[in-house]
Structure 1
Amino acid sequence: MLGKIKPDFQQNLFQTRLTDLINLGHPLVKLAHELNWNKMELEFQKLYSEQGRPSIPIRKIAGLLLLKEMFKESDESVVERWIENPYWQYFTGEIFFQNKQPFDPSEFVHFRKRLQESGLEFLLSQTVSLHPEAKNEKEVQIDTTVMEKNITFPTDAKLAKKVIDNCNKIANKEGVIQRQTYKRVAKQHLRDAYFGHHPKRKKKAVAARKKLRTIGNRVIRELERKLPESTLKQYESEFVKYKKVLSQERKSKDKIYSLHEPQTACIAKGKAHKAYEFGTKVAVTRGRKTGIITSIKRFGGNPHDSKTLEESLAQSERVREQIGGTRPTIASTDRGFRGVTQVENTKIEIPKNTKEKSRYKQEVARKRFRARTAIEPTISHLKRNHALELNFLKGVDGDIHNALLSGIGYNLKMRFNQIKEQIVLWLQFLILIFENVVFNINLKTQKVSF
């Protein structure tokens, strides 16, 4: 059953109304009034069963999810801060001030799984609708970045040691008596493999890495011999992954860099301070004039930038169509996207040095590609302020969800800051009027006294 927040106009002797505590001119209050909560509830109610215990109200859990992305909170911390902050409670539809936890933080996991990619695209479209000019903007800017996964820096020795440890856990779980667990031996070999680039330690480190791989294969073969066939089928995919980890070389393709996140890729973006990043590639689509994100798409592996254009523009079209918008007609990119000039009805603009253009066209192109660099600070804000820098969510679905949620948080924060600026300008205007009135009164009093 779908839970709902019922409007309560009756006064309560033991509870305080939020409207008596907060400033109704606060930016978060105004933002809560601008969002279409009814449309959100109609869209998400089909995700719930008609029978059973009432769920958490959609406005409450969706509102907390939006606050989490706006202010870069974790699942646990956003629930804790909600108890302390009456503005956050008002944003999520509460009427009276609450002093208890709204729900367990693990509910966020289930809600994100319910939403899936289509539900998060709907949320993204609702944040775009807060900026009316963005839905029909003709020109967008596209660039790619790396969303790193929360894994340790992978090395052959560490991965081999994890394979041995995981095999020992399987043996303990299934009651297999091993000839040897190699716990202490593997730990010592891992220590020996450290700092293998040093001339005095290189020989010992190479031998230690080789020995860890040998032990890993030995433990896997023992389990394959001793496990029953019915049980062995359950671990077949795991053993295939372990064997691939132990056999992969430096130049192998589709390498595994993490056992619990095998989809993680090694991506080099040419950064001086960070040669390699381990995660997934994300393409960001941003309006040239408004700066609003209409698409933020995750891609598996490490595809060429030009291969990301079609899906990014398709997602942007879906998001904009949900609020009555149109597909962008021009997309400006950097030289990393070379090779594509047209994607369906969208023209791809890439910096080129051609002498055939007139002086005027050269100047127009120069201004366009200078404006394109504005997407770089946008990506920086997404990473620093909206959790795109390090992804803690699990699996491929976690990559997709984290990317889209960071774009949702960015658009909301943009509108939040715009409302703040409008309030400041309005206060300055009132102060100016008040000063003029006082000045005129002083002039009149001076004339009367004279």
Structure 2
Amino acid sequence: MIRYKSQKQRTLPGFDTPPDMILDPDNRWVKLSECMPWDDLAQSYHKKLSSTLGRPAKDARIVIGAVIIKHKLSVSDDETVEQIRENPYLQYFIGLKGFQSEAPFAPSLFVEVRKRMGQTVFDEFHETIIDAVEHRKARRIVESGNSDDGGNAAESDGKTGLAGTTETLAAEQSAPDESQNHGKLIVDASVVEQAIRFPTDLGLLNEARELSERIIDELHAHSSRPQKRKPRTYREVARKAYLSVVKLKRPSNKRRRAGIRQQLQLLRRNLGHIETMLTAYPYGTPLPLPNWLLRRYWVLPHLFEQQYEMYTTHTRRCDDRIVNISQPYIRPIIRGKQGKAVEFGAKISVSLTGRGLAHVDKLHWNAQHEGHDLQSQVEAYKKRYGCYPEVVIADTAYGSRDNRSFLKQRDIRFAGKPLGRPPKITPENEDEMKRLKAQRRQEYRQRIPIEGKFGQGKHGYRLNNIRAKRADTSIAWINSIFLVMNLLVLVQVFIGLKKIVINIAIWAKDTTIFRKIVFEHTHQFISCRNFSWQ
């Protein structure tokens, strides 16, 4: 059930604090709260909830604000709740009426929120941030217009200067012509690593064997004939054999294969015992196993088949290879990076606009070529901005013939080296060839922002250490990090626009006209309470 109040009337002076506590209006969380389009984000979040059924849900601002705090500070779920409980600025940010010493919610709320917030919700969040940034950047005033001509106009006639400013703002807000291409689209791909142990064949088989022993223990404890002898598993012998191999610094291939063969034999024996014990439960009867253990049991036969096939064929690869029993959807992705040839996680295709906003367009759990996502990324750009980009900046992996033909049909230039043999340099075309080469080099350097965005996410917000345990919660975790990074862009635009509006107030010298400009051209994003009317 949806329970929500509009956030337009939340002010810092109205936030209840102890008598000896004074909040700073220039605090980073206060500034972020002022520029957040809370109502639009709440509307997107509520689409996953029922308006009539179920318990009253937590306020959308509390939920969204808590997710932003968690990934902004890069802390765990429990630590996020403690930070909110101790910090009045964080409590103001999530929309509480006043400071309270009790935790506003339990840490388990994050798990349910990650399950609920799918890719559709985050896509709408991204559209909301784009709309806010585009509206605010469209309202920016060129500094040259304010410094020279604008100042003289203000001295002579304040109203005339404001009229010119209004016309400039209106012209900047005009929608782009769909028949023309505008802007640039920067695309790239990266792997978002999951927080899993590095997989080895022997380690996976040992873990699978221990899980099978746990299943045998559970089934025997719930057996209708407990006096029957439990199947022998040789767990102590298997554990000693496993340790005798992994403790070696550099085990030989023969020794390693002998250890794998022994673990395969013991795992096959245990799976046979489990199948025999499950015959006591007819089809449709619930099994006496906890859900987490039952899900892992479904993975064990597939893991055994893959490992047995690789052992018999003397290979180290197979289709849809399982590298983690608790997260079987993770696949090894060969990247060829220095020091890290293989990465384990989701492969994301990200697009970055000239405004600095990044969006996860595609997310794959299998190793797929990122060049196949370019066409859908270009169409997504047109859906957001109403026109195609003027240029697509990407590395050579995106420069296939199909992609180049697709871009050419839409009058989009691909900033990359042309295919085929380079033309022969002659005195007539030497200058033109040098110019094109310098242009390609300059445009290729414009890929630096998206590489920096990946670095910002991985080193600043732990994008390379996703600790979610499910595929859907991992997707929500990844999108939350990109949401936080886009909000930082929104804050920069908000602060810059706030300074410009204050300059307009000083320049206008007319409170009535200034109020009109603020309300007409900043809509709901900037409230007049943020500025002084003196």
Q: Distance in 2 between matches of 1:51 and 1:397?
A: 24
**1:332-389 superposed Cα distances (whole Å, 9 cap, x missing partner):** 1112223232557465443347438744333322211111133212111111122311
Q: Following TM superposition, by how much is the alpha carbon of 1:17 offset from its aligned partner in structure 2, in angstroms?
A: 7.1
Change (3 A) 1:128 1:231: farther
Report the Cα distance in structure 2 between the residues aligned to 1:212 and 1:286, rounded to whole angstroms: 48
- The worse-fitting range, judged by mean Cα deviation, of 351-360 and 76-85 is 351-360
The alpha-carbon deviation at position 27 of structure 1 amounts to 3.6
Match of 2:90 in 1: 88
Specify the code of the residue in structure 2 equivalent to 1:261.
Q
Relative to structure 1, is the Cα distance of residues 146 and 210 closer, same or farther in structure 2, using a 3 angstrom cutoff? same
Report the counterpart of residue 329 of structure 2 in structure 1: 263
Letter in 2 for 1:302: A
- Mapping of 1:140-289 within 5 angstroms? 140-175=185-220, 178-194=230-246, 198=250, 201-228=252-279, 230=281, 237-249=298-310, 250-287=316-353, 289=354
Alignment partner, residue 297 of structure 1: 362
Equivalent position of 2:398 in the other structure: 337
Contact 2:70/2:77 (8 A) holds in 1: yes
- Return the alpha-carbon distance in structure 2 between the equivalents of residues 196 and 303 of structure 1: 36
Q: CA RMSD in A?
A: 3.4
Alignment check: 8 A CA contact 1:393 1:399 kept: yes
| Letter of the 2:423 counterpart | K
Aligned 8 A contact 2:184 2:393 in 1? yes
Q: Distance in 1 between matches of 2:22 and 2:406?
A: 53
- The 8 Å contact of residues 4 and 57 in structure 1, kept in 2 or not, is answered as yes
- Is this contact kept in 1: 2:29–2:89, CA < 8 A? yes
1:367 corresponds to which residue?
A: 442
Residue by residue, what CA displacement relative to the aligned partner does 1:134-155 show, whole Å, maximum 9, x if unpaired? 9986211111111111111111
Bigger-Rg structure (1/2):
2
User: Is 1:299–1:308's contact at 8 Å kept on the other side of the alignment?
Assistant: no
- The code of the aligned residue for 2:262 comes to K
Cα deviations across residues 187-240 of structure 1 (Å, max 9, x unaligned)? 1121123266836x5433321121111111111122222322746787684453
Secondary structure of the residue aligned to 1:393 is coil
> Which deviates the most, 142-151 or 70-79?
70-79
Matched residue, 2:74: 72
TM-score relative to the length of structure 1: 0.82
Distance of aligned partners of 1:66 and 1:231 in 2 relative to their CA distance in 1, 3 Å threshold: farther
Hey, what does 1:131 align to over in structure 2?
Answer: 133
The CA deviation at 1:118 is: 0.4
CA change 1:128–1:73 in 2 (3 A) is farther
Structure 2 letter corresponding to 1:145: S
Q: Does the residue aligned with 1:291 lie in a helix, a strand or coil?
A: coil
In the TM superposition, what is the alpha-carbon distance from 1:421 to its structure 2 partner? Answer: 7.7
1:140 aligned counterpart, secondary structure: strand
Partners of 1:99 and 1:280 lie apart in 2 by: 39
Q: Aligned letter for 1:187?
A: R
Using the alignment, how far apart are the partners of 1:47 and 1:154 within structure 2?
A: 36
Partner of 1:355: 423
Deviation at 1:248, TM superposition (A): 4.1
- Residue 40 of structure 2 contacts residue 128 of structure 2 at CA under 8 Å; is this kept in 1? no
Decide which moves more: 50-59 or 168-177.
168-177
Distance 1:32 1:162, change over 3 A: same
Q: Conserved in 1, the CA contact under 8 Å of 2:393 and 2:416?
A: yes
Q: Distance in 1 between matches of 2:65 and 2:129?
A: 12
Gaps of 5+ in 1: 428-450
Residues 189 and 209 of structure 1 are in contact (CA less than 8 Å); yes or no, is this contact kept in structure 2?
A: no
Q: Give how far 1:95 is off.
A: 2.5
Amino acid at match of 1:69: H
Give percent identity, aligned residues only: 22
Q: Which moved more, 1:371-380 or 1:239-248?
A: 239-248
Q: Is the 8 A contact 1:117 1:401 kept in 2?
A: yes
Judge conservation of contact 1:224–1:232 (CA < 8 Å) in 2.
Answer: no
Query: In structure 1, how many angstroms separate the alpha carbons of the residues matched to 2:382 and 2:218?
Result: 50
Question: What is the CA deviation profile of residues 21-74 of structure 1, one whole-angstrom value per residue up to 9, with x for unaligned ones?
Answer: 212233432321222212222333343231443221111111111222222222
> What's the CA shift for 1:173?
2.0
Flag the 1:170–1:329 CA change in 2: closer, same or farther, 3 A: farther
Partner of 1:4: 4
Counterpart CA distance in 2 for 1:181 and 1:164 is 9
The whole-number CA distance in structure 1 between the counterparts of 2:72 and 2:129 is 11
Q: Which residue of 1 aligns with 2:23?
A: 22
One-letter amino acid of the counterpart of residue 26, structure 2: G
CA contact (8 A) 1:3 1:57 kept: yes
Give secondary structure in 1 for the equivalent of 2:392.
strand
C-alpha spacing 1:127/1:248, structure 2 compared with 1 (3 Å): farther
Structure 2 unaligned segments of length 5 or more: list them: 139-174, 177-181, 224-228, 288-293, 311-315, 425-431, 503-534
- In structure 2, relative to structure 1, the CA distance for the partners of 1:131 and 1:54 (3 Å cut) is same
Q: Does 1:382 align with 2:454?
A: no
Is the 2:333–2:343 contact (alpha carbons within 8 Å) kept by the matching residues of 1? yes
- TM-score of the superposition, structure 2-length normalised? 0.70
* Maintained 8 Å contact 2:345/2:365: no
Contact 1:293 1:411 (8 Å CA) reproduced? yes
**Contact 2:416–2:440 (CA under 8 A) maintained in structure 1:** no
Distance in 2 (CA, whole Å) between partners of 1:342 and 1:98 is: 60
The one-character-per-residue Cα deviations of 1:253-310 (angstroms, maximum 9, x if unpaired) are 22111111111111222222112211121112112x3222133531121011212324
Question: Relative to 1, partners in 2 of residues 1:194 and 1:98: Cα closer, same or farther, differing over 3 Å?
Answer: same
Deviates more, 1:148-157 or 1:204-213: 204-213
Q: C-alpha separation between the residues in 2 aligned to 1:189 and 1:216?
A: 14
Shift, 1:326, TM fit: 4.5
Q: Work out whether residues 117 and 476 of structure 2, in 8 Å CA contact, stay in contact via their aligned partners in 1.
A: no
Pick which of 127-136 and 66-75 moved more. Answer: 127-136
Judged with a 3 Å threshold, the aligned counterparts in structure 2 of structure 1 residues 154 and 316 are, in CA distance, closer, same or farther, namely farther
SS at match of 2:335: coil
